Structure 1
Amino acid sequence: MSGIDSGRKLVVSFIEKNNIAHQDLATAYGKERVFVTNALSGKLKGASVNLFILEVIRDYKLRDEKEGEENGKTS
Protein backbone atom coordinates (compact mmCIF):
# COMPACT_ATOMS: atom_id res chain seq x y z
CA MET A 1 0.00 0.00 0.00
CA SER A 2 1.38 3.38 -0.93
CA GLY A 3 1.83 6.11 1.66
CA ILE A 4 -1.07 8.18 0.32
CA ASP A 5 -3.40 5.17 0.61
CA SER A 6 -2.59 5.05 4.31
CA GLY A 7 -3.35 8.75 4.55
CA ARG A 8 -6.59 8.30 2.63
CA LYS A 9 -7.72 5.61 5.08
CA LEU A 10 -6.78 7.86 7.98
CA VAL A 11 -8.90 10.73 6.61
CA VAL A 12 -11.84 8.40 5.89
CA SER A 13 -11.66 7.03 9.43
CA PHE A 14 -11.51 10.56 10.85
CA ILE A 15 -14.57 11.80 8.97
CA GLU A 16 -16.54 8.67 9.88
CA LYS A 17 -15.69 8.95 13.58
CA ASN A 18 -16.56 12.66 13.62
CA ASN A 19 -19.68 12.35 11.46
CA ILE A 20 -18.35 14.77 8.85
CA ALA A 21 -20.17 14.66 5.51
CA HIS A 22 -18.23 14.72 2.26
CA GLN A 23 -20.18 17.86 1.34
CA ASP A 24 -19.05 19.58 4.56
CA LEU A 25 -15.42 18.67 3.91
CA ALA A 26 -15.75 19.82 0.30
CA THR A 27 -17.20 23.15 1.37
CA ALA A 28 -14.47 23.68 3.97
CA TYR A 29 -11.71 23.06 1.41
CA GLY A 30 -13.35 24.75 -1.59
CA LYS A 31 -13.72 21.50 -3.52
CA GLU A 32 -16.63 19.84 -5.29
CA ARG A 33 -18.37 17.06 -3.32
CA VAL A 34 -17.72 14.66 -6.21
CA PHE A 35 -13.99 15.39 -6.01
CA VAL A 36 -13.90 14.68 -2.27
CA THR A 37 -15.98 11.51 -2.61
CA ASN A 38 -13.85 10.15 -5.46
CA ALA A 39 -10.59 11.19 -3.79
CA LEU A 40 -11.49 9.43 -0.55
CA SER A 41 -12.76 6.32 -2.32
CA GLY A 42 -9.54 6.00 -4.31
CA LYS A 43 -11.25 6.47 -7.68
CA LEU A 44 -9.28 9.67 -8.25
CA LYS A 45 -5.52 9.73 -7.99
CA GLY A 46 -2.85 12.26 -8.77
CA ALA A 47 -1.13 15.30 -7.39
CA SER A 48 -4.29 17.27 -6.59
CA VAL A 49 -5.73 14.35 -4.62
CA ASN A 50 -2.47 13.80 -2.76
CA LEU A 51 -2.27 17.48 -1.83
CA PHE A 52 -5.89 17.49 -0.64
CA ILE A 53 -5.34 14.43 1.57
CA LEU A 54 -2.11 15.87 2.97
CA GLU A 55 -3.83 19.18 3.68
CA VAL A 56 -6.59 17.48 5.69
CA ILE A 57 -4.01 15.41 7.60
CA ARG A 58 -1.98 18.53 8.46
CA ASP A 59 -4.98 20.67 9.37
CA TYR A 60 -6.41 18.11 11.79
CA LYS A 61 -3.03 16.72 12.90
CA LEU A 62 -4.16 13.20 12.06
CA ARG A 63 -1.78 10.44 13.00
CA ASP A 64 -1.99 6.69 12.62
CA GLU A 65 -2.48 5.08 16.02
CA LYS A 66 0.16 2.46 15.17
CA GLU A 67 2.71 5.24 14.62
CA GLY A 68 2.34 6.47 18.19
CA GLU A 69 2.58 2.97 19.62
CA GLU A 70 5.80 2.27 17.71
CA ASN A 71 7.41 5.38 19.15
CA GLY A 72 6.34 4.50 22.67
CA LYS A 73 3.81 7.34 22.72
CA THR A 74 0.15 7.13 23.55
CA SER A 75 -2.58 9.35 22.19
Structure 2
Amino acid sequence: MALKRELGFWHVFAMASGAMISSGLFVLPAVAFPAVGPGLFLCYLLAAVLLLPALLAKAELVTAMPKAGGTYFFI
Protein backbone atom coordinates (compact mmCIF):
# COMPACT_ATOMS: atom_id res chain seq x y z
CA MET A 1 0.00 0.00 0.00
CA ALA A 2 1.52 3.31 -1.09
CA LEU A 3 0.89 6.73 0.38
CA LYS A 4 -1.10 9.18 -1.71
CA ARG A 5 0.64 12.34 -2.86
CA GLU A 6 -1.90 14.88 -1.76
CA LEU A 7 0.39 17.73 -0.73
CA GLY A 8 1.04 20.35 -3.36
CA PHE A 9 3.62 23.09 -3.58
CA TRP A 10 1.63 25.62 -1.52
CA HIS A 11 0.88 23.08 1.22
CA VAL A 12 4.57 22.34 1.62
CA PHE A 13 5.42 26.04 1.31
CA ALA A 14 3.14 26.77 4.27
CA MET A 15 4.60 23.94 6.37
CA ALA A 16 8.21 24.92 5.57
CA SER A 17 7.60 28.58 6.38
CA GLY A 18 5.92 27.60 9.64
CA ALA A 19 8.93 25.47 10.55
CA MET A 20 11.38 28.25 9.73
CA ILE A 21 9.48 31.05 11.44
CA SER A 22 8.49 28.96 14.46
CA SER A 23 7.21 30.35 17.73
CA GLY A 24 10.16 32.70 18.07
CA LEU A 25 8.13 35.21 16.09
CA PHE A 26 5.85 35.61 19.09
CA VAL A 27 8.51 35.70 21.84
CA LEU A 28 11.57 37.49 20.46
CA PRO A 29 10.01 40.83 19.42
CA ALA A 30 9.21 41.63 23.06
CA VAL A 31 12.86 41.06 23.96
CA ALA A 32 14.37 42.83 20.94
CA PHE A 33 12.09 45.88 20.71
CA PRO A 34 13.60 47.78 23.68
CA ALA A 35 17.08 47.44 22.17
CA VAL A 36 16.24 48.08 18.51
CA GLY A 37 13.14 50.26 18.57
CA PRO A 38 10.81 50.76 15.60
CA GLY A 39 13.47 49.47 13.19
CA LEU A 40 12.67 45.96 14.42
CA PHE A 41 9.88 45.63 11.88
CA LEU A 42 12.27 46.44 9.04
CA CYS A 43 14.70 43.85 10.42
CA TYR A 44 11.99 41.20 10.34
CA LEU A 45 11.05 42.19 6.79
CA LEU A 46 14.69 41.97 5.67
CA ALA A 47 15.08 38.57 7.32
CA ALA A 48 11.94 37.32 5.57
CA VAL A 49 13.23 38.46 2.18
CA LEU A 50 16.61 36.82 2.79
CA LEU A 51 15.00 33.52 3.87
CA LEU A 52 12.65 33.34 0.90
CA PRO A 53 15.11 31.59 -1.49
CA ALA A 54 15.87 28.90 1.11
CA LEU A 55 12.18 28.47 1.81
CA LEU A 56 11.35 28.08 -1.88
CA ALA A 57 14.23 25.63 -2.38
CA LYS A 58 13.07 23.47 0.52
CA ALA A 59 9.48 23.49 -0.72
CA GLU A 60 10.64 22.48 -4.20
CA LEU A 61 12.87 19.67 -2.92
CA VAL A 62 10.22 18.22 -0.64
CA THR A 63 7.56 18.19 -3.36
CA ALA A 64 10.00 16.60 -5.82
CA MET A 65 10.70 13.53 -3.66
CA PRO A 66 8.49 10.60 -4.67
CA LYS A 67 8.68 8.96 -1.23
CA ALA A 68 7.12 9.75 2.13
CA GLY A 69 9.38 11.86 4.32
CA GLY A 70 10.78 14.10 1.57
CA THR A 71 12.91 16.21 3.91
CA TYR A 72 14.52 13.07 5.33
CA PHE A 73 15.47 11.79 1.86
CA PHE A 74 17.24 14.90 0.60
CA ILE A 75 19.17 15.40 3.84
Output the TM-score relative to the length of structure 1.
0.33
Q: Which has the larger radius of gyration?
A: 2
Q: Which one has a larger percent helix, Structure 1 or Structure 2?
A: 2
